[in-house]
A and B are shown apart, each in its own frame.
Chain A
């Protein structure tokens, strides 16, 4: 493989493909694309070693707009292609672009397993809680009661929380961000890229056409600070426009408190990305039932799938010698005529 050894002097423009972007004006996808193109020059990977693989849906057009290697695959299956690619070629930086329908409905099984295996991928799930490309049916993350074209009387299903699913698969990197906060979004993408293993990022993404009010309360600068807890490793969980509220634990339940006479920062939970129990508690919290945590919820080091595989290859070659066809053919009872 010809891996570039020249110093990486890439900029945003290097990642812009010649294809016209065709999302609806105002779609949250634009922000994610822009942040991705801005982030990639800084991750220390040559452009030719970056691959984007998507499934089907609005978000899955993403690879066409990135001037990297890419595959726009079939519905729900991007993690499977990405796994094969990563195993065949572990040096690549492979990104999976999926959505709530693609990744959690038709491809739910694959998402679970790719995370469980800790394949070294960056999985970005655009969650707009609706089917966009098929024009507005409820999705697996749509709220109960959601009225859509396919649920005119309201959805009778319970939604799934993507982070809880990732935690169930013992994800080694779990994060959440939102399209309307480009800086935060860019930072999370960068952290996901730097993590070795399956990085799972949920991006709250606005479908301005079919579900425009889904993220009301989280996008608007005036109110968002009251509803989002921005997590920082090692820091107490303070939030609010005046940094006057916080999250603490009451028994095993998270509780919102006002800072002041009764509670101080010392009473609050301190974020620790290595603590699985804490990550489990945080992953369950969702707006509007409670403020929603954003940032890196969990990050731990574990061997990746390819690490394990290549270690077995090395071990087998050490104990049995590098594969020799003649030896293999004769590795049974033989007779000569």
Chain B
């Protein structure tokens, strides 16, 4: 569809940001743009950010919803530090987005939205389109609202308000022209999404085309960009968000165990999309249960685990706080279950739609008594799939609850996922003791497997294995209530040992970069992309720096202590006030430095490289 006389800039990658009011459809616009880029073969990484309020007052800074996408002809790991191109649908969106923009970048604004009242709502004293404050950027002002209304004027079924709702497709059309992308995927999508509403279909498609041809005929844009397909490993790909990948991972784990998936949960941002995904999978016999509160959700998971299901809950930090007592019961009953915490900014209600990694210590220690728990964390949106399966495997192996620490960034961001062949995913072995006759020896519900230290998973319905579990201190083997001091000591140490032994079946920690040297960066969870990219950049500059990204936070991989000792400095970048650094210091009694940041968004690559430069002098 491109015109060969156009001037194209060949770029390796571009970061663009769509920003508007939360009612402007920016998430949709960004998603459509990303889908097309991905299908064309670019590597993509996205970061939506939206307000906590469903409909914050229109035109205000609080109501700005943005969607950033990085697309590239090479392998990328983050949504990009600084957008080069910004689509701003109103003054507030401009104001919020400009500080992050690359200098010399392009800003496309809907000039119709720059009314006196909108400027005032955004806190502008003069019009930035006229006062020269955007001098360092290439500013393209498009009277988008009026152009769009004009284009749709013949569609009588649509009111002016309806027509304005198509405006985001006009902007998307411009973006497609600017980046030389085909429209057909979005056209298909519109037709499916609005099936039966012909006028809406017509309006949106017309807006999309008009935006595209506006770019072509008016030559408004000095530059067009071309980003070649990336050379990713061969195979079939799709785009996934962390929450989607998590849901698919859980379903896969259940199938690989030959189990029913039970997902008991209570709606909470940013975890609810896992529930939404799973609720559509009744044909997999997925039993979602929307409980009356967080506590009930956790209770239901324990009940389902007792009943022999793969039992999972998903929540965020405040929900984990409510669930703590029941998680502790799960630890005491020694039943397998998976607890997904999609972390958000805290403390308290905090920043519900923003990302943070500040629940690591809560997962480790947020319960009464000695309460060891397995903790793992995915490193990217697609990796949530693997983390869900791994958590399920460890839970049934050790008969214990396992935490998966995702975060708001991973949950909502997306990237290409190399679709696996389900047959290549190994089965997860599950053992249930067989039934017994009345004259057999009595069943011992807490008799531990000598290798794993796990107790048997005897499920109701099995003849002769009737037994009672409870939260009271127990006698080893029989599980009968016991207040004998030695019993209490032994059961506590057995539960700790059982978790520690998982280190035997988790992979050794890998290091990216030199095996010893001046500096090691240790990270975990959703910061993988930024830290790995920053370290790679520093390595290209000849710096002696390595990166260890931890998936397993409890237990730690067996070789981690040795690795840490091989570097002169160890720095842990985290989106909290140094929680992993604290754990590592306690565990290995070493000098571990923390690079902490709590800006409600992921690290930028440049922040990591600056830190490396600072450390290496």
Contacts and interface: CB of A to CB of B under 8 A. Distances in A.
Interface of A: 1-4, 17, 19, 46-51, 53, 63-64, 66-74, 77, 79-89, 91-92, 109-110, 112-113, 309, 312-313, 315-317, 319-323, 325-326, 328-330, 332-337
B248 interface: yes
B300 A81 contact: yes
Contacts of B232: 337
Interface string B281-325: 111111101011101111111111111110100000000000001
A63 B468 contact: yes
16 contacts: A48-B460, A49-B460, A50-B460, A69-B467, A71-B306, A71-B333, A81-B299, A84-B289, A85-B303, A87-B289, A112-B292, A325-B252, A325-B255, A328-B284, A332-B239, A337-B234
Nearest to A335: B39
A54 to B, nearest CB: 9
B491 interface: no
Contacts of B422: 325-326, 329
Nearest to B421: A326
B285 A69 contact: no
A89 B300 CA distance: 12
B469 A329 contact: no
Nearest to A315: B282
A316 B283 contact: yes
A48 B209 CA distance: 66
A334 B236 contact: yes
Contacts of A69: 306, 460, 465-468
Interface in B542-570: none
Contacts of B182: none
Contacts of B333: 71
A205 B287 CA distance: 37
B419 interface: yes
B251 interface: yes
Interface residues of B, number: 77
B185 interface: yes
B468 A323 contact: no
B35 interface: yes
Nearest to A71: B469
B471 interface: yes
A128 to B, nearest CB: 21
A256 to B, nearest CB: 39
B465 A48 contact: yes
A337 B300 contact: no
Contact of A4 (B248, B326, B463): B463
Given A313-B282, A328-B281, 11 more contacts: A70-B468, A81-B302, A84-B289, A88-B311, A89-B461, A317-B285, A325-B422, A330-B419, A333-B35, A334-B238, A337-B236
A1 B309 CA distance: 12
Give the dominant DSSP class at B's interface: mixed
Contact of B459 (A1, A17, A84, A330): A1
Nearest to A3: B461
A89 B461 CA distance: 9
Contacts of B460: 48-51, 69, 85, 89, 92
Contacts of A66: 468
Q: Which of A4, A64, A66, A77 has the most CB of B within 10 A?
A: A77
A53 B308 CA distance: 16
A80 B295 contact: yes
B471 A85 contact: no
B461 A1 contact: yes
B329 interface: yes
Contact of A74 (B229, B467, B471): B471
Contact of A332 (B235, B238, B470, B481): B238
Contact of A110 (B38, B281, B296, B421): B296
Contacts of B492: none
A241 to B, nearest CB: 43
Contacts of B300: 80-81, 83-84, 87
Contacts of B462: 1-2, 48
Nearest to A319: B283
Contact of B306 (A49, A81, A334): A81
Given A3-B461, A48-B435, A89 B326 contact: no
Contact of B463 (A48, A335, A337): A48
A269 B38 CA distance: 73
Contact of B472 (A72, A81, A312): A72
Contacts of B239: 332-333
Given A64-B481, A72-B468, A334-B419, A87 B304 contact: yes
A128 B25 CA distance: 58
Smallest CB-CB A-B distances: 5 pairs: A80-B299, A84-B303, A323-B284, A72-B470, A84-B300
Contacts of B435: 2, 48
Contact of A84 (B185, B264, B285, B463): B264
